[in-house]
Amino acid sequence: MSASSRFAQQKRVPLKGSTRQLFDSSRAGEFSSRAVDEEQITVSVLLTPKEPIDPTKRLTREQFAERHCADTKAEETLRAFAEEYGLRVEAPKERGRRTMQISGSRAAMEKAFAVTLQTREAGGVRFRLREGEIMLPEELAPHVVAVLGLDNRPQAKPHFRVATPRAGNVSYTPVQVGQLYGFPASATASGQTIALLELGGGYRETDITTYFKSLGLPAPSVTAVSVDKGTNSPGDASGADGEVMLDIEVSAAIGVGAKIVVYFAPNTDQGFIDAITTAVHDSTHKPSVLSISWGGPESSWTQQAVTALDQACQAAASVGVTITVACGDNGSTDGVSGGGNHVDFPASSPHVLACGGTKLVATGDTITSETVWNELSLNEGATGGGVSTLFTLPSWQANSGVPTPTTKSGGRGVPDVAGDADPSTGYTIRVDGETTTIGGTSAVAPLWAGLIALANAGNKKDAGFVNAVLYSASPSPFRDITSGNNGAFHAEPGWDACSGLGSPRGAAIVSALAAVAPQRG
């Protein structure tokens, strides 16, 4: 066998979990940040780790990279494969990401990965699509977890809802919500960095300055980081800009003094996963919390993407980064046509803190009512929640009374925690020069991210993966939500599949997280 045909002559095997379903054109216009199909394509190849990841063992980013980077043989094999097919290879600065980017022509990509790429147009946007499996040479296949980017259809939706003007609606600033939940008065998150993941839209510095001046708070330091050519691109107040500004304004108003770093990526599975790995392993900004307000039903993801993203969340747990994730705004169906119960991913990952939503009513500085957010009768959304079909029941959730899963592989209950999300009791936010009221579980993820940043600063250590501590804390640091439903699931004492453990008693949460004792190895 000649060196030039080493891989061409090998048997091809399917990449596990790479099967792509038919394109759903109804999702095409959903906040896509990828447009025309380019002649040159860049894919991200996630390689297997040198050692299996143990998310319970706390490591520094440097230690993680040393132990869990890609095996040298895997990198060498991939480079040889790429060279044979005329593709260029670029390795990331952060070795812990285990992601090699391969670039080349469409024809070369089709030949290298044994796929047929199509161009489709829907919603005025062109997409590059593939269907079926990715086929790899049998020598390379054992080293590859995922190949992402051959298909650039939109992957996720932001989980925010703009309030419809209606008699009886109220709105709160994030500061007021924090006060109602008893967040530590006068506490700051100085020294912390909160990461935000965005798959479209952008922010304007003038809006940030004006907004925080109105709150009587110093404007936060906000830095944009480009991932896979994603950029800070404000311009649509009713679109993804609303998500970006909600995340920045809520997280920074709660986590006063924290630096905010926004990772902008294309709305594709490749962009989503590359943004998480970039943030988690960022040795420059070193975030301790990552807030994610985007997602999609578990059924909308390929298994290779689920595996790759969950491995990124495992890495976050290992290096001490807490990930808070919105669990969706479409009730127990998660918006899946045909009905049935579904949960959102990545909220369903057992390595993140899944955030559900409530309707919060207060008089002065006292909460008078808090129920599960459900405005489905008005076509204005409801909190996501239910039972995963992909992830088994975690040990820390074993005594929570999670409903029986519908699949043998499932069992993880969603959400873990809750907070104000109903747009009729939503957050006062400034977007593109206008003040509006926004809700959705997208508001709850940055709310919890800000609270955890406060806890990290106050406790003088990064909490990292918090679920086990929060589920076992006694007395409970939560306001138990016992009224309401999200469709199929009803609130009840203790954990439930629409409000999780409940909404936060802020000071008690900070005290509970002080019990986290990171063991570095």
Q: Which pairs count as long-range contacts for 83-86, CB under 8 Å and 24+ apart, including other chains?
A: 84/4, 84/5, 84/6, 84/7, 84/8, 85/7, 85/111, 85/112
- DSSP state at residue 331: G
In the residue annotation, 442 being an active-site residue is answered as yes
How many secondary structure helices (H) and strands (E) does the chain include?
11, 27
Indicate if 84 belongs to the active site: no
Q: Which own/partner contact pairs does 164-172 have at CB distance under 8 Å and 24+ positions apart?
A: 164/378, 164/380, 164/423, 166/424, 168/424, 169/423, 169/424, 169/425, 169/437, 170/361, 170/424, 170/425, 171/425, 171/426, 171/427, 171/428, 171/437, 172/360, 172/362, 172/420, 172/425, 172/426, 172/427, 172/428
- Alpha-carbon distance of 7 to 136, in angstroms, equals 9
Bridge partners (DSSP) listed for residue 372: 358
Least Cα distance to 98 among 352, 274, 316, 269 occurs for: 274
d(Cα 446, Cα 246) in Å, to the nearest integer?
8
For the chain, the C-alpha Rg in angstroms (whole number) is: 22
Q: Half-sphere exposure of residue 61, counting CA atoms within 13 Å on the CB side?
A: 19
Catalytic, out of 247, 249, 329, 344 = 247
The values of phi and psi at residue 65, to 5°, are -60, -40
492 is catalytic: no
Q: Which residue is catalytic, options 32, 288, 349, 442? A: 442
Catalytic option among 30, 133, 198, 243: 243
Rounded (5°) CA angle 176-425-211: 50
Active site members? 243, 247, 442
